[in-house]
Structure 1
Amino acid sequence: MMRGPASIATAVREPSGEIMVKKEKLVSIADRYPVLKKPMIRGVVALIESLVIGLKALSFSAQAAGEEGEELSNKEIAMTMLFSLGLAILLFVVLPTYAAKYIHSAITDARLLNLFEGILRLTVFLVYIVAISLMKDIQRVFQYHGAEHKTIHAYEAGVPLTVDNVRGFSTLHPRCGTNFLLIVMVVSIIMFAFLGWPSLWERIVSRIILMPLVAGIAYEIIRFAGRSQAAWVRISILPGLWLQKLTTREPSDDQIEVAIQAFEAVRPSEDPEAATPPEGLCSPSAC
């Protein structure tokens, strides 16, 4: 699935072997309310919209691939997002914060306790990524993730988008959502280190309340990193690129072909609705 400046396209290979492409106009709530385009706010908006777009794309792909059921309704998407949010809070907020209390007797400095909690959160995140990467269906998703990145790299390099050309590019991309998640973890470790050590529930609530701010800061960092060519910036994003070795896989030629079809549908030069050049033409997973 690819997201262009003004439209979104999802390509799916049907059981017959043909590639079906669904293209939709990209409508953002930020277009109606310009204040949502302001720094620190736009990151939260982009994250929520990317989640919605991603769920719709997965629903469409499942239907087009011949699986039973219809595309998810808006209510079902909202319920799925709420469930996912609740699970994320449980795994990455409640669990590390609760576990950190067991070393309170050994460490009294609040900053060190919060840093330890942050390291626990990062560890849980990495274990989660490794665990899902072992699932067969997820491995296939990660192959398509790699195909998206290769296609975007080929476009940015200015080469014709053919399977042979795209195949030679890397599956790692600096604007990937994996980088964003890792930066969220790092920013949260730094920010929460200065919040003191109140009661367990106060710590949990404070982390939940501050997550939009953390996401906003992380978005601005990855946005800057995507534009900068400075050596120190290239070095600083290396951990995110290394992490993508878990969230991407080498795709097959058939998968690259699907990614190319999705990209061609939103290629800026061929998209009459596009008003701006692609500062980051990508899928939600690569934005």
Structure 2
Amino acid sequence: MSQKSAPVSYGGQAVIEGVMFGGKHVNVTAVRRKNNEIKFLEVPREDKTWIRKLRKIPLLRGIISLIDSSIKGSKHLNFSADAYADDTLEPEERAQQKEKEESGWSLSMIIGVAAVSVLSFIFGKLLFTLVPVFVEDFLFGDSFDHYVLHNLVEGVIKLILLLAYLWGISLTPVIKRLFQYHGAEHKVITAFEAGEELTVKNVQKHTRLHYRCGSSFMMMTIVLGVVVYSVVPWDTMTERIIQRIALLPLVLGVSFEFLKLTNSLREVPVLRFLGYPGLWLQLLTTKEPADDQVEVSIASFNRMRELDAQYEKVTVQQPMAGSVLDPAKG
């Protein structure tokens, strides 16, 4: 079977000075150290049976996948952050930092990294959902009466805030390099799906934009959120806030399904435009990578594939349908 016809849709995540890729049986992160060595973190996938079953239920699978990938991704982000700190801080500063991290009862120690990841995910989604509501009401609360118009203006404000936030953080050196690794991740996946040998030269000629990406998911939640929120009318600010919170899981679920749909239709000339808004947003969340960044991305992907092949030989595991690492982490 050729690479192009491979049944697995791989996904990944940019981390500090590296890239994480998810396979059927293992997730692998590769980071570039200061001495140019590429260091790996290899974490076997341990998806429980009930999680695999929930991943098959439309709408619900999107929420489960988002939370699950957020938990797993935090371990790889911490790995890359630790490596970055080791390389950028003086030994004395790094020792003091580690001492502070290891002493005392931190929130992570009390309720666990997984719980912190879930709480951070929920808080972030609620914050991004509710802040535009208050801004819209403050600016246009008395300008017109129809709730659908308020929903549309709220969606525009949410988009402006998102674009301003992404543009602002992209100006910082660390985030700019993170976005370059995001572009390198997309290029490797695209080259692999095209059936090409993964060399730096081959990978670099591909686009840094990809339909199956978390940036596209963010855009989906804004556009489809306006539609979902307009289905249920509201009269007061209290009703509006309660409606946003209650319907947020539905917005996330619908956006996830629509993202999967646009990815399946990307080769259909008339329908591929459905994914364009997400691709346009990726112009901000990805940057053209340097050759050495692409090299790290290739190393991560190849190591993940190598370990997956080893797992296939020595274990018998239930196959997983769809994307093995959810597009929300792309």
Alignment TM-score, normalising by the size of structure 1? 0.89
Distance 1:75 1:281, change over 3 A: closer
> 1-side partners of 2:64 and 2:122: how far apart?
15
**What is aligned with 2:299?**
261
Shift, 1:176, TM fit: 0.8
Please state how far the C-alpha of 1:101 moved relative to its aligned partner.
Answer: 2.3
Residues 1:249 and 2:287 are matched in the alignment: yes
The alignment covers a number of residue pairs equal to 286
Aligned pair 1:138/2:175, yes or no?
A: yes
**Following the alignment from structure 2 to structure 1, what is the Cα–Cα distance between the partners of residues 199 and 318?**
26
Number of the residue aligned with 2:249: 212
Kept after mapping to 2: 8 A contact 1:149/1:286: no
Call closer, same or farther: CA 1:47–1:265 in 2, change over 3 Å: same
1:134-172 per-residue CA deviation (whole Å, 9 max, x = no partner) reads: 221111110110010011011111111111111111110
Larger radius of gyration: 2
Tell me which residue corresponds to 1:38. 57
SS of structure 2 residue aligned to 1:22: strand
Gaps of 5+ in 1: none
What is the aligned counterpart of 1:93 among 129, 141, 144? 129
What are the residue-to-residue correspondences of 1:79-158 with 2, within 5 Å?
A: 79=116, 81-83=118-120, 85-90=122-127, 92-102=128-138, 103-158=140-195
The change in CA–CA distance for 1:181 and 1:192 in structure 2 (over 3 A counts) is same
The answer for unaligned runs of 5 or more in structure 2 is 1-19, 87-93, 103-107
Among 155, 168, 175, the residue aligned to 2:212: 175
**Cα gap change, 1:283 to 1:277, in 2 (>3 Å):** closer
Question: Whole-Å Cα distance in 2 between the matches of residues 277 and 161 of structure 1?
Answer: 24
C-alpha change, 1:3 and 1:61, in structure 2 (3 Å) is same
Match of 1:48? 67
Among 164, 167, 184, the residue aligned to 2:221: 184
Query: Separation in 2 of the partners of 1:279 and 1:80?
Result: 24
Alpha carbons of 1:271 and 1:40: their partners in 2 closer, same or farther (altered >3 Å)? farther
- Residues 147 and 256, structure 1, Cα contact 8 Å, conserved in 2: yes
Distance 2:310 2:182 in 1: 23
1:240 is displaced (CA, Å) by 0.9
> Could you tell me how far apart the structure 2 residues matched to 1:93 and 1:285 are?
17
Q: Distance in 2 between matches of 1:9 and 1:174?
A: 22
1:271–1:206 CA distance, 2 compared to 1 (3 A):
farther
| Aligned-partner SS, 1:237 | helix
SS of match in other structure, 1:82: helix
Q: Which residue of 2 aligns with 1:222?
A: 259
- 1:104-143 Cα deviation digits (max 9, x unpaired): 3221112212222222222222222212112211111101
Q: How big is the shift at 1:184?
A: 1.0
Structure 1 residues 36 and 148: alpha-carbon distance in aligned structure 2, compared to 1, 3 A threshold: closer
CA displacement, residues 79-117 of structure 1 (integer Å, 9 cap, x when unaligned) = 355245424423x22222112224232211122122222
| Counterpart residue identity of residue 189, structure 1 | V
Distance 1:113 1:140 in 2: 37
Match of 2:231, SS state, is coil
Of 204-213 and 261-270, more deviation after overlay is shown by 261-270
**2:40 corresponds to 1:21:** yes
What letter corresponds to residue 58 of structure 2 in structure 1? P
Query: Quick check: 222-231 or 212-221, which moved more?
Result: 222-231
The answer as to whether partners of 1:5 and 1:275 remain within 8 angstroms in 2 is no
Give the conservation status (yes or no) of the 8 Å contact 1:142–1:249.
yes
Once residues 123 and 54 of structure 2 are traced to their aligned partners in structure 1, the CA distance between those partners, rounded to angstroms, is 28
Indicate how the Cα distance of structure 1 residues 239 and 248 shifts in structure 2: closer, same or farther if over 3 A, else same: same
Compute the displacement of 1:208 (Å).
1.6
CA distance in 1, matches of 2:277, 2:126: 24
The code of the aligned residue for 1:202 comes to E
| Cα deviation, residue 4, structure 1 | 1.5
Q: Which amino acid aligns with 1:257?
A: E
Report sequence identity in percent. 36
